[in-house]
Structure formats: structure tokens, C-alpha cells
Structure 1
Amino acid sequence: MASTNPTPKSKCENAAPTFQTARLTFTPLAQTDAAPLHELRSAPEVMKWSRQGRPDASVTETQKWVDSYLAEAESNITQQESIVSKPDPRKDVVFAVREVAHVESGAKHDRIVAQAGIKKGKSEVTGVERFEIGYMFVPTVWGKGYASEAVKGMAQWWLSLYPEEGKGGDTEGVYAIVAKTNPASLRVLEKCGFHFVAEGVDDHGDEIVEFCMNNE
């Protein structure tokens, strides 16, 4: 279950995480995260499942991606604040995910084991605009159960922002879309309590499956 208990500060430049689970900390992506994030974004077996579809060629490319994301996020926040007096806290967010044990060890080198987040957009399956959860982990931590822990933690964190929402049917709650050829991610979503919504084909012609988790 997600916890709001702060994680002891590490030697990296990041502030305390938004939340943490038993073994992982979740901190909003920062400009200084590019170098430790490159281990993940340069792995072909990871990036083949991403929308980019290929690994970053260099730390410079990873930095450009981080800068682009942060600039877009800042722009979205500014636009929202100009429209409403009370911005919706469920804004798009990308987390840099670290192992609690690594942070607490005081290691001299920073290490990010996953990129995870929630983003609002139009579903490729149903065409409905909704918040979609996504994640990628470095191959060296696969098999530890981190993906299930991260997905469950993020879903609980997001749904806790508005506990009365996500109770009315398939158009509410938090969603996830995965390739039908990615059985590991399919198992993670089912294990975390997501239920099947629909199947479809993405822009590349690949079969995809959509799942949802509601407040129940």
C-alpha cells in the first residue's frame, strides 16, 4: 500500500518523494535526472515497448527528452492555472523511481530503476479521454515484483486524490494500455486488480488491450 512517509534524503539533488511503497520511492522527474535515467532509456528491451520504440542514443538525447517533458508539463500547469482558480492535482506526472534500499544506503552514485507516471490523453482503444498509467523498469530489476508494486502504488495514490470518483463505470478511474504481445505487463495489471475494458489496434497496427482500476 502506498505511504506518504518521507524517505530519508539521499545525496542526489531530488526533493522528498511524492510517495513511497515498501521498496520504492516516487519523485517527480527533475532536470538532474537525465544521467541516472539513461540506463533505462538506453535499454533496447525496455524501449521497444515505449511510444518512441527505440533506445536513446546518448545521455544528451535523454536530457533533451527530460527537458521537453518538463517544459510541456510547466506549460500545461500555467494554462490550467489561468483557466481555473483551483487546479486539478491530477495533472500529468512522470516519476523517477528509486529503490528505498539504495537511497537509504547513502550510495555516492544516484540510480533510477524506473520511469513511471500517469498522463491524460485519448485512448487508442476506445477513443475516450482518460488518465493512463504507464511504467518501464531497468532489466536488472525485472523479476523482483517491482512492476506490480509500482502500478498498485501509483493507482492507489492517484485514486486517493479524489476518493469519491472512479466509482461510476468504465469511463472513470485510472487506465492502462499494453501490447497483447507483452504477457508480463498483462499479468501485472491483472494481479493489481485492473479489469479488462476493450481490445484494439494502435497506430502501428499492433494489437493492444485496455484495462481499468476504479475506486470500489
Structure 2
Amino acid sequence: MSTPAIHRPSDTITTERLLLRPLSPTDSNAVFAIRSDPRVFYWTVPNTREKSDEWLKARLESEKSMVYTVSLQSSTENPSPQIIGLTGAHSLPEVGYIFRPSSWGHGYATEALKAWIHMYWQRYPDGHPVLHEDERAYLKAVTGPDGEGSRGVLRKCGFRWFGEDEVCDERKAAREKGLRVVLEEFRLIKPHVEE
């Protein structure tokens, strides 16, 4: 798998409790463990290793992807921390996050996304160059049904409700019945920098 220039090994981000680093091909096991848990992923669970690895490969090869793994910082009690989640842009300007259920309720998603957003606007104050001009002024996130926890994370990170769209539910059984769901889009406008 090739790794685009935006995924440099030196791109680690640290917070008070977390370590974020760019996604890599060696993260296959962790990605599959997170994405295959039906409590984590609303739309389509990659129930095979092959589908999960395809997702990983696509993220690593896309110039619009800036996905980071999230781990607790190492300590004497936790010398080899495991990956507890993923955050960042799977396809700019859209960002997201998914975390292991055991890490829910501790504020990790908010802490990680805030750190990633800060890094993004520091590195690309005018928006990422691969984006169309009209997309460079914001980041966006989309939430599905039962996503109140996710909407809370977005609000804490400064995102505001932008709109909603009713779409076909892509999960197999729902799609066969023609069920539709409402997705909500949130946007975070590029911070104004004083000159």
C-alpha cells in the first residue's frame, strides 16, 4: 500500500491523555476490531477481514484521507496501549470518529477530534489544497439515527447543525424494505486568523 505525503510518521499529536498518529498498514487488526463491532458502526459493518482491509487500503491511498489512530498515552500502568479509536478525515472535508465501546463516556472522542482539528487548521489555514475552493472554508460531519452522543461530540468541538437529508438506509435488510433515515450534517467553519 502506498502512503500519501499527508501521512508522515512525524505527524503524531499528543493531548493530555491521548496519542494520535497517522493510520498505517500495520493497523489492520485494530481497524477490523473497531469497525466490525455492530455497536460502533451504524451503516454497514465490514463483517469480513477483506472488507475492513479494503477500507484501510482506500484510506491510505486517498489524498483526501487524514485518518489517525487514537491510543491512551503510555504509562507505567499502561506501557503498551492499544488503539481505542480512529479520528480525522476519511474523505476531506468530511471528518469522523469511531471508538471501541469500552472507551465510550470518557471524553476521548472529543479530546481526539479537537486535537486533530487544531492540527488540520494549523497545517492548512486556507483548507487542504486537494479540496475545491468552496470546500476549503469548513469541515463537516454527518450523523445518523441514534447519534445523539456523536452530535454531542461535534457540538463540543465547535460544529453547528447545517442541514439534514433523508436517504435510503444502506443496511441490507433496511434497503430491501425501502426504509429511509434522516442524516444530519454539521459544519465547522474555518477559524478567522488575525493578520
TM-score w.r.t. length of structure 1: 0.66
How far the C-alpha of 1:17 sits from its partner, in A, is: 4.4
TM-superposed CA distance for 1:154, in Å, is 1.6
**Are 2:152 and 1:187 aligned?**
yes
Q: 2:143 aligns with which of 162, 175, 178?
A: 178
1:62 and 2:52 are equivalent in the alignment: yes
Q: Deviations over 1:14-51 (max 9, x none)?
A: 94543222222221111111123332122110022x4x
Query: Which among 88, 93, 105 is matched to residue 66 of structure 2?
Result: 93
Report the equivalent of 2:85.
114
1:29 aligns with 2:20: no
Task: Kindly provide the amino acid, as one letter, of the partner of residue 34 in structure 2.
Answer: L
Aligned to 2:131: none
- For each residue in 1:114-151, what CA deviation from the matched residue of structure 2 results, as whole angstroms up to 9, or x when unmatched? 12221446xxxxxxxxx011110000000100111122
User: Whole-Å Cα distance in 1 between the matches of residues 51 and 126 of structure 2?
Assistant: 41
Q: For 1:9-28, list aligned pairs within 5 A.
A: 15-28=9-22
Local SS of the residue matching 2:87: strand
State the alpha-carbon separation in 2 of the partners of residues 103 and 118 from structure 1: 32
Amino acid at match of 1:162: Y
Task: Supply the RMSD in Å over aligned alpha carbons.
Answer: 3.0
- Please state how far the C-alpha of 1:66 moved relative to its aligned partner: 2.2
Structure 1 pair 54/101, CA: closer, same or farther in 2 (3 Å)? same
Would you say how many aligned residue pairs link Structure 1 and Structure 2?
169
2:111 match: 149
Percent identical among aligned pairs is 28
Return closer, same or farther for 1:104/1:155 CA change in 2, 3 Å cut-off. Answer: farther
Q: 1:207 is aligned with what amino acid?
A: V
Residue 30 of structure 1 aligns with an amino acid whose one-letter code is S
Counterpart position of 2:181: 206
Do the aligned partners of 2:71 and 2:83 also contact (CA within 8 Å) in 1? yes
